[in-house]
Structure 1
């Protein structure tokens, strides 16, 4: 009997030790995942949260984190829906984020779920969920209720735009450019003979350069070493002649605009533009007019109308440098964010992306026309299917808007995001 009791005690002790060790491992995994969330590394965080979920830690807090991660990973946003739906069954105003013991989800989980529904074109569900979120947080000061209202308006706009589609022909640029990685931010010369783009390789973001011979793109060359990049330079614009490349450098605290030139078939080390363009705030995009005398760029510097605004600067021949920046004004810029402005060859038609104006959700592509000086016409939404209920950024127009290059997820593509060329019937624009 004594030996039997001893055996039972040993088994209980071993189970306790095993449970304690496993619990310690789960705690460590949780805190590591929270660390990745803090630094917005959603891919790494997702792997860890899924490990916790599959280990039986499937409470509302973990499910809300899984949904949050999926929402931030292009091409995987719809995977967020079932996790967020479950998490929304147990939300609380007061939660302790970063605590392994927390089991409830925060109120903002409803907002995430509404965004996921919106991305999946479940627009009525999205509207209902945005309204539920609004009811919960309307008295709170920590939430931007105006943005919630804007998303509801966007859902209603999406219904109208989807019912009146633009005529678009989509052509994948092929497997010389596209592969198993995400290939994004394509910039193209006016004759469509040169292309520079960003490829998200396994260990770093690389910049590639390709020339077109006949109707085929040549094998791309990795020009990241020429640009002295550690993976933090991003393509913005290629001049009409294909010899001037604009990039932005992104670091943890700032982002600035740089310029590289093609000399003797090699790209020069990028040079930072002057203080009229770059500030101590974030400059995230720039492009040139066809004559190279005007630069359009994006900044969140003080004095704007919202978050990121679009500015322009003319080249000062006397100073041999860029002049004082001018905000394009409230007709173009909104209380939200504007991005990726590119002026057409005609020098009048400006394409850009915006979270404001009449849009379908997130960023939509718009165009506006210069009336006189710094007076711009009311922006027009490019419509569906150029725009969707997800973010639509980095639209590179050519031939005065009759063509454009973008990157997108395609189930029939070569991998993750593919670069595609669009041919548009602009007469169907409204």
Structure 2
């Protein structure tokens, strides 16, 4: 995405001249002045005139990378990497390939990157899990994403909702002069009305915050009286001089403003900004005690990291703290958003394993675990960033260039229920740890399976208003299924009480409930498996026992067909028992066809009688 680069590079430029020189000097001058549109034109002239070198190809590729033109970037990285390049070039090439959905080719470049920079955490993550994309694509859908009616034909991003006002950053102001990096107007902070019907109207610039340079995004205190926002340090005449390139280098910095009637005043340059680094994209915790932000300040792990700083009761600030390698990588992390609970942090990263470009991640800072990629449709092969969420209205926003331009999208949570299954002994009530627990949809397709913990619990997240079925099994107990009723959540509980296996064993037979088969089929059903598990337990308890299984059919179909069908059923039964750890020498079987009906009803059998005749019997050959 285009303007994300501006936000991440954190450099504002003022220059006085552009020297014209031979070969790459003119293009390099534009590149160093962040005039990427014009720089690309100059490098392309060199290609057209037969003056291209590996350096020109790499500069062209990096130019398009900085503008997130992934198609052109891939084209020129392919040329550049015909010769050996530095590790970061391979990484960038891999990212651009991934942004075009070319995951296999991306992995090849990531392997080159990993070889060139083996100690880089991005390389280590790739080596540990090189085929991570299918896992990301299979993640449970957490949010629905829809276009918003606030986006324009210019870059729009960083939307955040406070009460009924939506603040965002945009380059739509046609009265502003263009910025050379992307040939778009300078960024402004906008405010729009968020209406009861979900429409967004009346977008207008927040003039009391905007300067003639880049401004935005912002974050607001819970009482609505204080904002922190990004802006160029030029507004305070704070910059460095780059004499070599005839530049004045400003830095994106964080400013504080307080409510002054219907506008904002007392604009203050914060003390932890700096001339040598940039500070941007603030997010204020709801308790007002912590400000999160992006910065490439000293101590950063990568190019841009996420930091935090405490806000003291007297209005002073603590020392900025890097959020560490659970959040930050050697790549770039930006656009932090701290949720209302003051624990869950959302942020964008180009350094973690994602679907392409920048992906959005979530981490619970109170638990110290790993950051979680939000998966599709929040993330795509393109740049996705600027996540925010209003818990009161249960709605959020993201920014993405998935449509070719930086646009704002509406985020609505997928209604979900956390279903907790507790597995117990039905007779004693005792907790059953290490029980197998699967959750199935209403068509009995298994969605996922886990073992119960030491509390006998397994928790699954499922969609609202859909029925599910839980299947629970445990050695020594009868497996069973339990209905999960439709629910709007947020939580539901299922008591999965399993009966201890108590099987009738006579001198000649192990008596089970009928192992029924579906009409014309020989596969073991779930209900049949639960019964066969009882036989498995009996045989494990009596390690000398040998069983002969007889399978029967109903009388529909020819005698030959039924004999073959019953033989397949007998073999299925035997194979199931063996699969549960019983030695093959202890179980055998034979199909009897329709020769020994349980109910001799001739041609007038009911469906129930036919089902009774489709059965298995288990004769004891040896105890």
Aligned counterparts of 1:67 and 1:423: Cα–Cα separation in 2: 36
Q: Tell me which residue corresponds to 1:221.
A: 204
State the distance in 2 between where 1:370 and 1:134 align.
29
Q: CA, structure 1 residues 242+218, in 2 after alignment: closer, same or farther (shift >3 Å)?
A: farther
* 1:186 corresponds to 2:169: no
Match of residue 77, structure 1, among 64, 70, 87 = 70
Q: TM-score, normalised by structure 1?
A: 0.72
Quote the Cα distance in structure 1 between the aligned partners of 2:300 and 2:53.
43
Rate the CA distance shift 1:144–1:324 in 2: closer, same or farther, 3 A.
closer
Q: Higher helix proportion, which one?
A: 1
Distance 1:394 1:36, change over 3 A: same
What pairs up with 1:150-161 in 2 under 5 angstroms?
Answer: 150=125, 156-161=131-136
Q: Greater CA radius of gyration, 1 or 2?
A: 2
- Measure, in 1, the Cα distance between the counterparts of 2:101 and 2:354: 14
The change in CA–CA distance for 1:241 and 1:153 in structure 2 (over 3 A counts) is farther
Secondary structure of the corresponding residue to residue 211 of structure 2: coil
Structure 1 residue 421: Cα displacement: 0.8
CA shift for structure 1 position 330: 5.0
TM-score (norm 2): 0.52
Equivalence for 2:390: 398
Q: Is the 8 A contact 1:351 1:397 kept in 2?
A: no
Q: Which residue of 2 aligns with 1:118?
A: 98
Higher relative CO (Cα under 8 Å, sequence separation at least 6) belongs to 1
Deviates more, 1:54-63 or 1:384-393: 54-63
1:39-97 Cα offsets, whole Å, 9 max, x none, are 333222112223444455566554443332222213x21232233334444x267xxxx
Evaluate the alpha carbon distance shift between residue 134 and residue 168 of structure 1 in structure 2; reply closer, same or farther with a 3 A threshold: closer
Shift of 1:324: 4.6
- The answer to whether the 8 A contact 2:386-2:398 is kept is yes
Contact 2:190 2:204 (8 Å CA) reproduced: yes
> Counterpart of 2:192?
210
Corresponding position of 2:168: 196
User: What are the superposed Cα offsets for residues 127-151 of structure 1, whole Å, 9 maximum, x if unpaired?
Assistant: 113334555x56xxxx985545556
Contact 1:346 1:400 in 2 (8 A): no
Instruction: Describe the SS at the equivalent of 2:293.
Output: strand
Give the match for residue 61 of structure 2: 67
Which range moved further: 111-120 or 177-186?
A: 111-120
After superposition, the C-alpha distances for 1:362-415 in whole angstroms (9 at most, x for unaligned) are 5432222243xxx6343322222322344433211221895321222244xxx8
Change (3 A) 1:221 1:57: same
Deviation at 1:286, TM superposition (A): 1.9
**Cα pair 2:191 2:204 within 8 Å, conserved:** yes
1:34 equivalent to 2:23? Answer: no
State the secondary structure of the residue aligned to 1:270: strand
Aligned-pair CA distance for 1:328: 4.3
Task: Give, in angstroms, the shift of residue 210 of structure 1.
Answer: 1.6
Matched with 2:364 is 369
User: Aligned-residue CA RMSD in angstroms?
Assistant: 3.7
Q: Distance in 2 between matches of 1:133 and 1:384?
A: 26
Is contact 1:29-1:48 (8 Å) kept?
no
**1:405/1:239 CA distance change after superposition, 3 Å:** farther
Q: 1:55 to 1:405 in 2, by over 3 A?
A: same
Matched, 1:234 2:216: yes
1:20 alignment partner in structure 2: none
Please give the alpha-carbon distance, in whole angstroms, between the structure 2 residues aligned to 1:196 and 1:243: 18
Alpha-carbon distance change, 408 to 245 in structure 1, aligned in 2, over 3 angstroms: same
Q: Equivalent residue of 1:124, what SS?
A: helix
Q: 1:162 deviation in Å?
A: 1.6
Q: Secondary structure at the match of 2:385?
A: coil
1:1-400 pair list within 5 angstroms: 28=22, 30-55=24-49, 57=51, 60-74=54-68, 76-89=69-82, 91=83, 110-132=90-112, 137=116, 147-150=122-125, 156-164=131-139, 166-174=141-149, 177-189=150-162, 191-199=163-171, 202-215=184-197, 216-223=199-206, 225-227=207-209, 229-240=211-222, 242-251=224-233, 252=249, 254-268=251-265, 270-273=267-270, 275=271, 277-278=272-273, 281-302=277-298, 308-317=304-313, 319-334=314-329, 337-355=332-350, 359-360=354-355, 363-371=358-366, 376-399=368-391
Q: Secondary structure at the match of 2:384?
A: coil
- Closer, same or farther in 2 for the Cα pair 1:212/1:400, shift >3 Å? closer
Q: 3-state DSSP class of the match of 1:284?
A: strand
